[in-house]
Structure 1
Amino acid sequence: MELQNSLYDLFCLQAQTFKKNPFLAVPRRLADSWETERETSFGDAFTRVQTLKSQYAAQGITEGDRVALAFESRPEFVYHYLALNGLGVCIVPLNTDLAVDELAYQLGHSDCSAVVCLPSLQPLLAQCVSATGRELALSINGPEGLESLWRPRHAHEPVTRPVDRPAAILYTSGTTGRPKGCVLTNVYTQEAALYNLRLPPHLAFEVGAERQMNPLPLYHMNAMVNTLGSAIVTGSCYVMSGRFSATNWWNDIADARVTRFKYLGIMVPALLGQPETERDQHSGVKVAFGAGVDPTLHERFEQRFGIPLIEVWGMTETGRFMCVDREPRQIHTRACGRPLQGLQARVVDDHGQEVPDGETGELVVRHSAENPRYGFFSGYLGDPQATEKAWEDGWFHSGDLCTRSHDGLFTFVDRKKNIVRRSGENISSAEVEAVLAACPLVKQVAVTAVPDALRDEEVLACVIPAGDVPRDRDLALSLHRFAAERLAYYKPPGWVYFVNELPITGTQKVQKHRIFPQGFQPDMPGLYDVRDQKRWNK
């Protein structure tokens, strides 16, 4: 299958081939509340996309514009995305769990001209637009309210080939505070989609017949790029189940006739915790793809449900992924895969030299020696220095520590970057530190990751309090509330640890690995568990 000028063009081509096939579906329990059909064919989706494209064009939306979308993980997002892509517009998917200041930063940093959102999100987005200090157009449900567009003072860089146009900017947590905007082109979105056609036969999509459910949000590459793209190129149905619900999971699978699904490691213990039923072995699901399953639970899940969990590795920057593509899958380890055709990987030391098999080093990837960056993100928006640093020596540096076996299987060891990975969300320690450092009750703070049985990792704030305030649970709760008022619900500390000093180097850098030299223990003096305060509340 050849590349088209845009993902929209690829969709139009496939919509003619699979006109009557189901394209998007939602479980019965969500259809009414979302006010959407339970199932939409490729042909009907094509009609909706064409209508929206004409409406956006009539409102003056044109090539080079950037439009933020806030439709959560609903079918409407896909229609708007493809319509705007057909006009040469770059979208910015918004995570509306973020705080106002965080969303305002993304709107400003990305130079959005307009925001289109669900009616229920209008109050939040209005606050965000106001916080940018710009007169951004804000419209509910569609293009009708976009008569007056704010235009950035500087023109976006001209693009000579449509295939090289930015299709989306996805924000991913960096290690130095503010999230970075990954610019994804039409080459990226299509190559990431076509990569799914290179899966080995026992994992391959049955063209025109698969129904894949993904509970991950559409502001993540996994859902917006990989799952949507794989549906387009294979004529498959993308089942959109909303936020993950362990209690509804198997009912949704039966209701939507799901044949494969995506998962995160956090989902596995939650599903194993559900009561056993006779249908555990009869869900109809053939295979599942995901990352981060606890090796102690991997075999137990597969034996109970009869579904192989295929571990993968990927990043927003890479688009394409590695997967554990054959037996033995080493399910009692953190084996994360092998690259397929179109991706090369190796493990290197701090000097960029490849290490022997079995030794730990940083995982680096590329397309090929001749064209290393082909199909990857085109760069971090407004930060060419960070982009070039990530591509040092012609390989993209993942920041993940891995080993490689003699047969080419990569196994994840640890994270080199200063990131807390909680329930599949990457949280920048520096971002949380910056917020807590602004609190009058804090003299000094360091944020790090600690193990969490349910969520993989949790955020811990190691704090030297200011003044003589009592170092008790009330203070811990106050610090949590201070962060929760300024950050998304999952980012504030779940643990607060009061200390008299932090281990530092001669250049005053905190040595986080020395905070718990004997390992993290939940009963340590001065440590307070405030994880029960971290609740999602739309």
Structure 2
Amino acid sequence: MTDTIGAFFDTAVRAHGARAFIAVPADEERPYHPAGLEWSYAEAAAQVGTLRAALEGAGYGHGDRIAVLLGNRPEMVLFKLACNILGISWVPVNPDYRPAETAYLLEDSGAGLTVAAPEFIEQMRAGIAESGRDVPLCELDTATAFAPTPKGAARTVNGLVTPETEASLIYTSGTTGRPKGCILSHAYEISLGEWYASRGGLIRLEPGHTRIYCPLPLFHVNAGIFLTFAVMATGSCQIVPERFRASAWWREIVESRATAAHYLGIIIPALMKRDPDEWERRHTLEWALGAGVEPTLHRPFEDRFGLPLIEVWGMTEMCRILTDNEEPRRIDTRAMGRPQPGLEVRVVDDNDHEVPRGTPGEMVLRHSAQTPRKGAFSGYLNLPEATEEAWRGGWFHTGDTVEMDETDMITFVDRKKNIIRRSGENIAAAEIEACLLDHPSVRSVAVLAVPDPLRDEEVMACVVCDRAGDAALAEALFAWCFERLAYYKAPGWVQFRDMIPVTGTQKIQKHALFAPGSDPTTLPRTHDFRALKRRETKAG
């Protein structure tokens, strides 16, 4: 039986023990593993066993949740596996969270233990203090001693872990302002990897050969689950840099012997802007998989670097990807694949009626009529109503506007949900609106996405204040958000307005803020803070 993560990993270790499982490129400036490393499946299994024994000895087991703040350290993967073998749910924390955001995660998840890397200890401590909860905090470095659970003696978990057991709780932005905790089961996570590994076409994962370089964060489903389980399913290797750096991309790919890569839309223009160098000419990438590449850059990238960019669609709740992975691909469009057995797709209007082919509408998904929720997440934590609303009519509503043509090809059009997509991060406009409304000078606010040439979309805040808006007040509003939210959520643009259009029932009409075809960033009383949206920026 390989329907639990423990059994799935054990099967991979027995089949591929000496093959490389996880690799980290060398980086002398990184606070961990500066010389780089490579762990085989067998070596990783030994470390997982040590972590498992330490957790079990401290009393943690089936049904517990542990919040983990390790950034992109490869130990994130080992710790997740150790937790899952015991029936513990892994709750990854975004390193860019502010204390209030970490506090919300701790409160909502009810995590009974927090674990952080040395460089994140103070950050996690601040989040615990903000939450008001008495949650043990342990440093994960070379030591594996964990604070004993207040629940008492260790529990035997053999036989309790099932395919339906919660494996991860991943927080993703929602339209209600607060992130929603997506419950992912053992069966779901395994199915993601097996789905990816079996797509075929241009996507080839071969035991002992495929080495996939992925600079995306391990606290997201893409790198931390979708890719990791595909690697395990095929005896491949996952290469984990700390983050994306255009200057290091090709060098690290060459030095780590990568044969494939994951990307986001922002990566492609950053690489295209660089002058040719020796590293890009030496790469051995066979393909790359990702989402969000501009059609105008897709073909030029492939021509310059000599590999296909395979566009996909996926989300935390339903990560059985759609993918345009068969030739001839439609790389001059935003095509993202066709329905397949196990992933049925409809395009519907606001009343959930299917629209004619070639007509934009919301994409809704299911596994099949008999088992619509098979292969999907288990639901939103503490939000059963939101779960059922997303699944109304037996179809999962993605919030993405697409078109489907007569050949069943699905092309991305826009996002229906009130979500801003910046550099791969989903940002809830409502969360930023709530933050700005807490500022004493703000009377009303509307936050929306505006196009950005580098980061896909940027956050624009349109505000009405109780005093004249000037550069100083705009900077104060930016700093207010920057100090309370992850840096990427702060408004890149602040625009002062005399009024914000509303309906007769006082609902904001964002579509009426600007004339069709206009560029909001060029209007008077608009202030640009994009250059300040950096992790190291000190606001104020």
TM-score using structure 1 length? 0.95
| Distance in 1 (alpha carbons) for counterparts of 2:393 and 2:462 | 36
| Distance in 1 (alpha carbons) for counterparts of 2:241 and 2:428 | 28
CA contact (8 A) 1:471 1:526 kept: yes
Q: Which residue pairs with 2:194 in the alignment? A: 194
Q: Which residue pairs with 1:77 in the alignment? A: 76
Residues 160, 344 of structure 1: alpha-carbon distance in 2 compared, 3 angstrom cutoff: farther
Q: Are 1:374 and 2:367 counterparts?
A: no
State the one-letter code of the partner of 1:206: E
Q: Which residue pairs with 1:206 in the alignment? A: 206
| Distance in 2 (alpha carbons) for counterparts of 1:207 and 1:190 | 17
| Distance in 1 (alpha carbons) for counterparts of 2:162 and 2:29 | 36
1:349-364 matches, cutoff 5 A: 349-364=349-364
| Distance in 1 (alpha carbons) for counterparts of 2:279 and 2:11 | 39
Q: Which residue pairs with 2:98 in the alignment? A: 99
Q: Which residue pairs with 2:136 in the alignment? A: 137
Q: Which residue pairs with 1:526 in the alignment? A: 525
Q: Which residue pairs with 2:327 in the alignment? A: 327
Q: Which residue pairs with 1:155 in the alignment? A: none
Over the matched positions of the two proteins, sequence identity in percent amounts to 43
CA contact (8 A) 1:198 1:340 kept: no
1:50-65 matches, cutoff 5 A: 50-65=49-64
Q: Which residue pairs with 2:286 in the alignment? A: 286
Q: Are 1:450 and 2:450 counterparts?
A: yes
Shift of 1:160: 7.0
Q: Which residue pairs with 2:338 in the alignment? A: 338
| Distance in 1 (alpha carbons) for counterparts of 2:308 and 2:183 | 33
Q: Which residue pairs with 2:413 in the alignment? A: 413
For 2:484, what is the secondary structure of its paired residue? coil
CA contact (8 A) 2:318 2:376 kept: yes
Q: Which residue pairs with 2:155 in the alignment? A: none
- 1:233-290 deviation line (CA, Å, top 9, x unaligned): 0000000011100000000000000000000000011001111135535410000000
State the one-letter code of the partner of 1:238: Q
Shift of 1:148: 4.0
| Distance in 2 (alpha carbons) for counterparts of 1:33 and 1:488 | 21
CA contact (8 A) 1:476 1:528 kept: yes
For 1:124, what is the secondary structure of its paired residue? helix
Residues 46, 7 of structure 1: alpha-carbon distance in 2 compared, 3 angstrom cutoff: same
1:4-83 matches, cutoff 5 A: 4-29=2-27, 33-35=31-33, 38-83=37-82
For 2:355, what is the secondary structure of its paired residue? coil
1:90-489 matches, cutoff 5 A: 90-141=89-140, 143-149=144-150, 162-278=162-278, 280-466=280-466, 468=467, 470-489=468-487
| Distance in 1 (alpha carbons) for counterparts of 2:330 and 2:22 | 34
Shift of 1:330: 1.6
State the one-letter code of the partner of 1:195: W
Shift of 1:514: 1.1
CA contact (8 A) 1:59 1:143 kept: no
The unaligned stretches of length 5 or more in structure 2 are 153-158
Residues 68, 30 of structure 1: alpha-carbon distance in 2 compared, 3 angstrom cutoff: farther
Q: Which moved more, 1:39-48 or 1:275-284?
A: 275-284
Shift of 1:520: 2.0
The unaligned stretches of length 5 or more in structure 1 are 152-158
CA contact (8 A) 1:196 1:230 kept: yes
CA contact (8 A) 2:3 2:190 kept: no
| Distance in 1 (alpha carbons) for counterparts of 2:385 and 2:404 | 30
Residues 523, 124 of structure 1: alpha-carbon distance in 2 compared, 3 angstrom cutoff: same
State the one-letter code of the partner of 1:336: M
Shift of 1:139: 0.4
| Distance in 1 (alpha carbons) for counterparts of 2:306 and 2:150 | 53
For 2:338, what is the secondary structure of its paired residue? strand
Q: Which residue pairs with 2:156 in the alignment? A: none
| Distance in 2 (alpha carbons) for counterparts of 1:508 and 1:34 | 52
CA contact (8 A) 2:491 2:529 kept: yes
CA contact (8 A) 2:251 2:280 kept: no
Shift of 1:35: 2.9
For 1:162, what is the secondary structure of its paired residue? coil
CA contact (8 A) 1:172 1:426 kept: yes
CA contact (8 A) 1:22 1:41 kept: yes
CA contact (8 A) 1:321 1:339 kept: no
For 1:219, what is the secondary structure of its paired residue? coil
Shift of 1:80: 0.8
For 2:515, what is the secondary structure of its paired residue? coil
For 1:57, what is the secondary structure of its paired residue? helix
Residues 107, 164 of structure 1: alpha-carbon distance in 2 compared, 3 angstrom cutoff: same
Select the residue among 493, 496, 499 that pairs with 2:497: 499
CA contact (8 A) 1:281 1:306 kept: no
Shift of 1:338: 2.1
State the one-letter code of the partner of 2:223: A
| Distance in 2 (alpha carbons) for counterparts of 1:408 and 1:200 | 19
CA contact (8 A) 1:502 1:510 kept: yes
TM-score using structure 2 length? 0.95
Q: Which moved more, 1:430-439 or 1:190-199?
A: 190-199
State the one-letter code of the partner of 2:104: Y
Shift of 1:315: 0.4
CA contact (8 A) 2:23 2:239 kept: yes
| Distance in 2 (alpha carbons) for counterparts of 1:398 and 1:338 | 16
The alignment's C-alpha RMSD in Å is: 1.7
